[in-house]
Amino acid sequence: MKQQIKQTETARDIREKDSDFNREMNELARTLFKIRPEKRSQAITWLADTYRKAAGKDFLIAHSPGGWGNTPWDGLLEWEKSIVTGVTVTLEKLGYSHYVTQYFRSGMKSFGHFKDIYRDIRFFLTGRSGRAEALAAMLQLLAKHLPDTMIILVGASQGAAFNNATVKNVPDMPHLFSIELGTFFPYMKHRVIMERTLAIDNNGIMRDPMCERNLWAGTKSYLGAPYRWLKLRLQGRPIKFTHCINTPGHEYAWEYPGVHTNIEKFLKEKFGSNL
């Protein structure tokens, strides 16, 4: 009988905690997106799904895609996938459980990218992003209701810059860590590297021109992208335009020495073994 009462109380506690989270989640979404019901609905969906699936896990891994920030897992370049996979495999080897999610900072509509261009220009000029502020607030809510779960942001290029801006908004959040690779150079002057941040600007094979303000290398990549995109499309092999922007050195595959060695060291030093 005592065991049944204890189990009932535990179930009731869980229901109460879930109810508190749902209430605060809805309040936060209304505050962040007062006049944008579509964005409000997307935030609620992401928060509810992440809270439910990350509950009881040691780590929540949130990946911010590069480029426009809207590429789902199956559409990512293999080297970007390998970073997230490498992080999760390393945590598993250390004896930790995890849940992986993606956070999309823009939509899929082409017209919406015109607004994204304006937002990105303002972001790189000022170092501030309303979208990063929104994510920071949502992560605070998750950390409050998942106190035993560490949060690691993972991003490359524009995704790295976005994650850095997110962490800057919550500097006193001890459960939040960030792994940033190949930060896009316009953001460099705004970047803040904290104790819980790992910034990698070189893959260990060759220098990254997009981190070092090598404008000529970057310009060549962007100028050649339309030709590569059209050529592949005519050959019946259509791919995303951003995948045609090939800049040697601006790739961070897990197997590169400057990538896996630094990330493994960072994770081991920050969290140790749970075996």
Mapping DSSP to helix (H, G, I), strand (E, B) and coil, where does residue 4 land?
helix
- The confidence score (pLDDT) of residue 3 equals 43
Among the listed residues 180, 172, 131, the one whose alpha carbon sits nearest the alpha carbon of residue 152: 180
Among the listed residues 198, 234, 182, the one whose alpha carbon sits nearest the alpha carbon of residue 77: 182
Outline which parts of the chain fall under CATH 3.40.50.1820.
Answer: 2-211+252-271
- The confidence score (pLDDT) of residue 238 equals 62
- The confidence score (pLDDT) of residue 224 equals 57
- Tell me the two tokens of residue 152: 């690691």
What's the pTM?
Answer: 0.86
Q: b or e along 252-264 (b: 16 or more beta carbons within 10 Å of the residue's beta carbon)?
A: bbbebebbbebbb
Q: Specify the residue for token string 């969906």.
A: 45
- pLDDT < 70 stretches in the chain: 1-11, 13, 107-116, 214-234, 237-246
- Tell me the two tokens of residue 50: 């992440």
> Distance between CA atoms of 234 and 201, rounded to whole angstroms?
35
> Distance between CA atoms of 135 and 46, rounded to whole angstroms?
11
Among the listed residues 54, 64, 68, the one whose alpha carbon sits nearest the alpha carbon of residue 84: 64
Q: Please say whether the beta carbons of 65 and 104 come within 8 A.
A: yes
DSSP category for residue 242: G
- The confidence score (pLDDT) of residue 4 equals 43
Q: pLDDT tens for residues 136-176?
A: 999 999 999 999 999 999 999 999 999 999 999 999 999 99
Can you name the CATH fold of 2-211+252-271?
Rossmann fold (3.40.50)
- The confidence score (pLDDT) of residue 210 equals 82
In this structure, the number of other CB atoms found within 10 A of the CB of residue 56 comes to: 10
- The confidence score (pLDDT) of residue 167 equals 97
